[in-house]
A and B are shown apart, each in its own frame.
Chain A
Amino acid sequence: MKNRSWAFLAGGLLVALLLAGVVSNYASSHPDGLDSSLLKGCTVDADDNIVGGTCPAQQARDHELADSPLADYGVRGVRNSFVSTGLSGVLGVLVTFAIGAGGFWLLRRRGGTPTDADAATPTEGDPATSGDVRRRADAAS
């Protein structure tokens, strides 16, 4: 990949980290469109807890992983809620990028097509892996 692409990736990641790490603390804590639609028929208090009536939301069960250390976008053990939310967001962005970019990199189409820039160099005699090694070297430079 060219330097410009690396710069774009780094810039995009930085924006995502700022959004998840800082701006996320200013997000609305009200139920989202689905949850609020399922609350129809119930009455809720100021904290959006159900206090009466019947509605689909009452059937909701606990999440399987409600005890996860990052459950509900907070880091267990971190008392400052601003830091807890921000840190969980930063970790989420990094994990998502690692899984996404890593997975897509492994899935990517290998071996050049005729329009590929480096397909001009003869690779026919090489095993497919040598092309990959060269591509990785290109990407790293």
Chain B
Amino acid sequence: MHISNGIIDGPVAAIFAALALAALTACVLRGRRDLDDRLAPMAGLVAAFIFAVQMLNFPIFTAGVSGHLLGGALAAMLVGPWVGALCVAVVLVVQALIFGDGGVAMLGLNITNMALLGTAAAYALIALLLRVLPRTRAGLAVTAFVAATLSVVVASQGFVLEYWLGGTTDLGNNLGGLAGTMAGVHLLIGIGEGLITATTVLTVAKVRPDLVYALRSLRAPAAPAVPVAGGAR
């Protein structure tokens, strides 16, 4: 979902760059509370893993269209929303500055959609679903799947908002058409995102449940193993 140069005009891109910078600063300030000696290297791994999986474009049912993981839900699940947004932002910066993926001038827009909106939407859903769903592996899987799927749709609508503000082609009042196309195709991509996220989270939860941020912070009373593991949370 990386925006290329020229798709959104310069002033709007600049405004979103400033917004993204402010939001990432807030993530640094708030995320530091979560970042301890154990979470810091784990967050680096989450960023590296998201970079790797973002390379794996998978086909969706619509012919000739692919999608790839965005990673916001996965990051929110494993390292929390604040550090998670920073993880996705690190990936986007590396992609823009080294791999020519997503315009450098568009970086603020891309960070807004994928790192900020995607992660925030995912974490809101994770916090809600972990509280209402049964505390089982199935509940965790459904939480990861639904949060990831919908977070992709939310991120895609971030682009539609940006296009409404500064799109370089006059759609002739057909913004709704773009919104519908984007939502539809990203619902399908979101299913892929959901499957990858649920699989990864279940795997980590099986091997090292203490490394799943969402389980530590949102299910604390039901996880007696956490204090023993020496968590500082």
Contacts and interface: CB of A to CB of B under 8 A. Distances in A.
Interface of A: 1, 4-5, 8-9, 12-13, 15-17, 19-20, 23-24, 26-38, 40, 48, 54-66, 68, 70-73, 88-89, 92-105, 107-109, 112-113, 115-117, 135, 138-139
A97 B232 contact: no
Interface in B47-103: 47-53, 55-60, 62, 64-68, 83, 86-87, 90-91, 93-101, 103
Interface residues of B, number: 82
Nearest to A97: B48
Given A56-B7, A70-B99, A88-B99, A107 B45 contact: no
A59 B181 contact: no
B100 A32 contact: no
Contacts of A28: 57-59, 66
B94 A60 contact: no
Given A92-B52, A99-B93, 10 more contacts: A5-B41, A17-B52, A24-B56, A32-B189, A59-B6, A60-B4, A92-B95, A96-B50, A108-B35, A108-B36
B44 to A, nearest CB: 3
Nearest to A38: B7
Contacts of A115: 227, 231-232
Interface stretch (B26-34, B116-124, B134-142, B214-222): B26-34
A104 B43 contact: yes
A63 B7 CA distance: 12
Interface stretch (B14-22, B125-133, B164-172): B164-172
